[in-house]
Amino acid sequence: MRQGTPAFRKANISLFAGGFVTFAILYDVQPLMPVFSKEFHVSPTVGSLSLSVTTAALAISMLIIGSLSEAWGRKPIMAVSLLISSLFVILTAFSPTFMSLLGFRVAQGIVLAGLPAIAMAYLGEEVDPTSLGIAMGLYISGNSIGGMAGRILTGSITDFFSWRVAMGSIGIISLLLSAWFWRNLPPSTHFTPRPLRLKNLVFSMLHHLKDPGLLCLYGISFIVMGSFVTLYNYIGYQLIEPPYGLSQTIVGWIFIVYVTGTFSSTWMGRLADRIGRRKGLWIGLSIMLAGAVLTLGDNLVIKIAGIAVFTFGFFGSHSIASSWVGRRAKTEKAQASSLYLFFYYLGSSVAGTVGGVFWTQFGWSGVVGLIVILLALAFPLSIKLASLQSA
């Protein structure tokens, strides 16, 4: 499929919707963490588990589901994944205890893996290489808008009703969009099913883990996602406390800055196609670092501007790195993408929870310090990646 054709547009709109659902139901708990801490009497670090357990389950599940798609096909698994995940969101709204909520969130993470584990492989197979950058950017744009909408809706609805009504609403919206995805995504035409062999899966993953270029990309994915989730996990705790004292609705609406990610993923995807992926990645990482430092300012406007800059850099970096994996991996692209996302969501779980310790001990400056350390580690990896002439 080439840019400008009807099939290209249909596939991109469908995957945009799939990305929207994925991020909306994955991150709808993020603005609710202070609410969970208060209602269930848990610390910020424990409250962050409402997201961390989901991303951890997602990371592990993707390693298997990506391989299942090699035998069962791309579209069926993606569609079923979205539908069942949406149902789990609705069930989460009825959680009587925090432990039961975590149980539903684990189940959701296991099932939800179907779309992110396969979407990049689907695009890599079905989209012409000259149009892959923009296609990947549009898919990730759906991620950013879904993450923004999920946070805004849950924050606002929680203030007016309750977090349970908010979660139920997100689940119903996601269920409708998932049904639309199933009906409209074009079936694979360049996919050849292969028998499922677990032994081959292990060897395939070991093969990818021996590739120094892919290892660098996996490390970068861990870092950028870990940094991103850490910032968003704890910014709400700071903003509802003095001197800001913002309401849950206002905190939710601050996530409107996600719209910068919608723009940056597409724009930086095109930029990388023009100036090269290496330079584009360096630019994205530098923007993230600058945005994190800006959030140290006490002025609320400067702080929000820093969040927007940070978000812009994150989605641009992720767009470039994720499309790079598809180009770097010559065989078993689904497994290569699954490994990328394994480290991506592992970073979310590990750094997102560790950030709670830094928040408790050092406040917001501690959270930003952790992010700066993580991003500083990404630059040597990007330099190593640039030194590989075949990358």
Which residue do the tokens 């203030």 mark? 159
Q: Is the pLDDT of residue 181 over 60?
A: yes
Q: Is the pLDDT of residue 390 over 60?
A: no
Helix pair 49-72, 33-40: axis angle to 10 deg: 120
Torsion of CA 217, 219, 220, 224, to 10 degrees: 140
What was the pLDDT predicted at 191? 63
Higher pLDDT, 188 or 118: 118
- Alpha-carbon separation of residue 225 from 6, 58, 118, 248, 346 (angstroms): 33, 14, 19, 24, 9
At 258-299, the pLDDT tens digits run 778 767 877 777 777 677 677 888 888 999 999 999 999 999
What was the pLDDT predicted at 291? 95
What single DSSP character describes residue 41?
T
pLDDT band at 201 (very low <50, low <70, confident <90, very high): low
At 315-357, the pLDDT tens digits run 888 888 877 776 666 666 667 777 888 899 899 999 999 999 9
What was the pLDDT predicted at 186? 78
Show Cβ contacts of residue 347 under 8 Å, excluding neighbours closer than 6 positions.
Answer: 221, 222, 223, 224, 225, 226, 227, 229
What was the pLDDT predicted at 168? 95
Question: Can you read off the two tokens belonging to residue 106?
Answer: 């684990």
Task: Provide the b/e sequence for 343-365 (b: ≥16 CB within 10 Å).
Answer: bbbbbbbbbbbbbbebbeeeebe
What was the pLDDT predicted at 164? 95
At 83-140, the pLDDT tens digits run 999 999 999 999 999 999 999 999 999 998 888 777 777 777 777 666 666 777 777 7
Tell which residue, 247, 233, 258, 86, has the closest CA to residue 160: 247
| Interatomic CA distance for residues 83 and 114, integer angstroms | 10
Q: Is the pLDDT of residue 389 over 60?
A: no
What was the pLDDT predicted at 357? 93
Domains for the chain: give ranges and CATH numbers: 6-185+196-387 (1.20.1250.20)
At 19-72, the pLDDT tens digits run 889 889 998 898 899 999 999 999 999 999 999 999 999 888 888 876 776 666
What was the pLDDT predicted at 200? 65
Residues in the chain: 391
How buried is residue 183: exposed, middle or buried, by Cβ count under 10 Å (0-12/13-18/19+)? exposed
Q: SS3 for 37? A: helix
Higher pLDDT, 376 or 211: 376
Tell which residue, 17, 246, 1, has the closest CA to residue 138: 17
- Across the range 154-161, mean pLDDT stands at 88
| Interatomic CA distance for residues 333 and 119, integer angstroms | 11
Q: Is the pLDDT of residue 391 over 50?
A: no
- Alpha-carbon separation of residue 146 from 19, 121, 142, 312 (angstroms): 7, 21, 6, 15
Residues 236, 90, 146, CA angle at the centre, nearest 5°? 50
In Å, how far from its chain's centre is CA 149? Answer: 14
Q: SS3 for 42? A: coil
What was the pLDDT predicted at 198? 64
What single DSSP character describes residue 331?
S
Cis amide linkage into residue 243, ω under 30° from 0: yes
Would you say 284 and 313 are in contact if contact means Cβ atoms under 8 Å apart? yes
Q: Is the pLDDT of residue 195 over 70?
A: no
